[in-house]
C-alpha cells in the first residue's frame, strides 16, 4: 500500500476518486477534508439536530451555521461531501484534533473500495456540555480521509448501503433526513456514481486544481507561457534529432550485407 499525497489526490480526481462538492481547502496535504452537512441525528434524544446561526468572526457581517451535539450523546452526522473510490483505493477515516480536544470521541471507520455516496459518521460527545459542529466548513472539518493505493485491485463489490440510512431503522423522527437523501436530485449522494463523476468534473474547484497541478508539472520549463513553449519546442527538436541520428547510423540488416555468391563457370 502507499498513501496518496496532494498531487496524487489531484491526479486521481475524476479518475479513481470522485469528490463533491470540492471546496477551497478540501485538500490539505495528503488529506481530503470531510465537513458536516446540515443533517445530523442525536441517538440519545432521538431527534434531528436543529441548525442554528451565529455571527462569523472571520467574516464580519456574515453568519455561520452550526448544530450542537448534546452532552453525553452520540450524533450521526452526514458528510456534506460525497466520495467515490475505485477498486484500487481505500481510505481510513481519522478524527480531527480540535474536535477531540473539545470532548468528541475518536472515530474508527473506513471507506472501502468502490464506495460511492455521502458518509455517516458517529460523533460521541463525551463531555458534560453541548459541542458545536459547524457545517460545510473546511476550516473545521469533522474528519479526514487519507487515501491509500492497494497493492492489487479489490475483487469484492461494496456491500454497504450508500449514505448508511440503514442505521436509522427503527428510530423515530427521521423522515426529513430520509426524504432529503432520497430526493431524485440528490441521488449522487446515495451511490449514483455517474452523477457524482459529472458534478466533480464540472465543478469550478476541480478545474482550478487541475490547472494548478499542470502548472506545477510545467514549472521546470519556465515561469511564463512563451518560455515553456520555447522549451517544449527545443525538447521536441532534440527528440527528432536523436531519432534521425538513430535511423542514419542504424546498421544495415544481415540480409542486405550478405555477399552475392559468385557464379562458377563450367570447365
Confidence band, pLDDT 50/70/90 cuts, at residue 140: very high
Please provide the CATH number assigned to the domain covering 2-203. 2.70.40.10
pLDDT at 231 over 70: no
What element of type H or E holds 74? Answer: strand 74-85
- Residue bearing cell 458534478: 199
Confidence band, pLDDT 50/70/90 cuts, at residue 221: very low
Q: Which residues contact 156 (CB under 8 A, 6 or more apart)?
A: 112, 113, 114
Model-wide pTM > 0.95: no
How many degrees, rounded to 5, is the angle at CA 175 between CA 174 and CA 181?
95
Alpha-carbon gap, residue 29 to 20, rounded angstroms:
18
Alpha-carbon gap, residue 153 to 250, rounded angstroms:
43
Least confident of 66-80, 81-95, 194-208, 253-267: 253-267
pLDDT at 132 over 80: yes
The mean predicted confidence, pLDDT, of the chain is 88
Identify whether the C-beta of residue 137 lies closer than 8 Å to the C-beta of residue 33: no
Instruction: Find the mean pLDDT for residues 1-11.
Output: 94
pLDDT at 24 over 80: yes
- Angle, helices 204-218 vs 193-202, to 10°: value is 60
Calculate the alpha carbon distances from 226 to 214, 215, 216, 221, 240 in Å.
16, 14, 16, 10, 21
Amino acid at each position: 500500500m502507499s498513501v496518496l499525497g496532494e498531487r496524487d489526490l489531484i491526479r486521481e480526481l475524476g479518475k479513481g476518486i470522485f469528490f463533491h462538492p470540492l471546496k477551497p481547502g478540501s485538500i490539505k496535504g495528503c488529506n481530503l477534508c470531510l465537513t458536516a452537512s446540515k443533517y445530523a441525528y442525536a441517538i440519545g434524544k432521538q431527534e434531528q439536530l436543529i441548525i442554528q446561526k451565529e455571527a462569523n468572526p472571520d467574516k464580519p457581517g456574515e453568519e455561520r451555521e452550526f448544530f450542537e451535539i448534546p452532552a453525553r450523546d452520540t450524533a450521526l452526522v452526514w458528510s456534506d461531501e460525497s466520495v467515490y473510490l475505485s477498486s484500487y483505493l481505500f481510505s481510513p477515516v481519522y478524527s480531527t484534533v480540535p474536535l477531540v480536544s473539545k470532548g468528541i470521541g475518536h472515530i474508527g471507520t473506513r471507506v472501502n473500495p468502490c464506495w460511492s455516496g455521502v458518509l455517516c459518521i458517529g460523533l460521541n460527545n463525551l463531555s458534560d456540555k453541548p459541542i458545536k459542529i459547524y457545517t460545510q466548513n473546511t476550516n473545521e472539518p469533522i474528519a479526514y480521509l487519507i487515501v491509500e493505493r492497494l497493492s492489487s485491485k479489490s475483487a469484492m463489490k461494496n456491500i454497504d448501503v450508500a449514505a448508511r440510512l440503514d442505521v436509522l431503522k427503527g428510530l423515530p423522527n427521521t423522515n426529513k433526513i430520509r426524504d432529503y437523501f432520497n430526493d431524485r436530485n440528490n441521488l449522487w449522494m446515495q451511490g449514483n456514481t455517474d452523477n457524482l463523476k459529472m458534478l466533480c468534473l464540472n465543478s469550478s474547484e476541480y478545474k482550478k486544481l487541475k490547472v494548478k497541478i499542470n502548472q506545477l508539472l510545467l514549472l521546470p520549463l519556465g515561469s511564463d507561457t512563451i518560455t515553456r513553449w520555447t522549451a517544449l519546442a527545443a525538447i521536441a527538436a532534440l527528440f527528432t534529432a536523436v531519432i534521425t541520428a538513430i535511423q542514419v547510423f542504424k546498421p544495415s540488416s544481415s540480409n542486405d550485407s550478405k555477399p552475392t555468391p559468385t557464379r562458377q563457370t563450367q570447365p
